[in-house]
A = this chain, B = another copy of it.
């Protein structure tokens, strides 16, 4: 019997394909093994069960997302950077919904690879915010706001959560424009508890 030539990366890459094509909830060791032409238990030589596959996929996806965002941000600042990063974020989620789902559901603080990859994302976002003049605590609050809006929009769009018959592209553009306004006036809008 010829070797199948599996490695952890090959297995995780196939998992990414399954997740994107069939949905993250249908990512299954059985499906991955089948597509690789291999018996299910063979995968255990390369990944630590289903959980390991999920966290491996999460790390892959966060790394890809960080790449895409960094590329979008390079050479831009202010509104230009915001628009480019936001568009890149949404495109990635729409193109790879299964991978993206893994980043949210399989996040594990103790995984150093994953942590490194998500630091890259954070670095890019903070760089964009710096071009708005935001640093320190303000930047953290703004980063959370930005991430919430982008994550929320993309997640809801992928889940089919926008029922009304209005152009979704347009809504996204307006949300990004609103974020631009909010970031511009950030320092002068402290919350009043």
- Residues on A lying within 8 angstroms of B by beta carbon are 25, 104-105, 107, 109, 118, 137, 140-142, 144-145, 147-153, 155-156, 159-164, 166, 168, 170-171, 173-183, 185-186, 189-193
A180-B176 Cα distance, complex, nearest whole Å: 15
Known: A152-B153, A155-B104, A185-B181. A174 touches B141 (CB 8 A): yes
25 A-B pairs with C-beta separation under 8 A: A109-B160, A109-B163, A140-B166, A141-B166, A141-B171, A142-B178, A144-B153, A144-B156, A144-B168, A145-B171, A147-B152, A147-B156, A147-B161, A151-B155, A173-B193, A174-B189, A174-B190, A174-B191, A177-B190, A178-B179, A178-B189, A179-B182, A181-B181, A181-B182, A182-B182
B145 touches A175 (CB 8 A): yes
A176 x B152 contact (CB < 8 A):
no
With beta carbons under 8 angstroms apart, the residue of B150, B152, B159, B181 that contacts A189 is: B181
Chain A contact surface mostly: helix
Within 8 Å CB of A177, what residues of B?
A: 189-192
A179: B residues at CB distance < 8 A: 178, 182
Closest CB-CB distance, A76 to chain B, in whole Å?
16
Residues of B within 8 A of A156 (CB): 104, 144, 147-148, 151
Known: A109-B163, A140-B166. 11 other contacts (CB 8 A): A141-B166, A144-B171, A145-B171, A145-B178, A147-B161, A151-B156, A152-B153, A174-B190, A177-B190, A178-B183, A181-B185
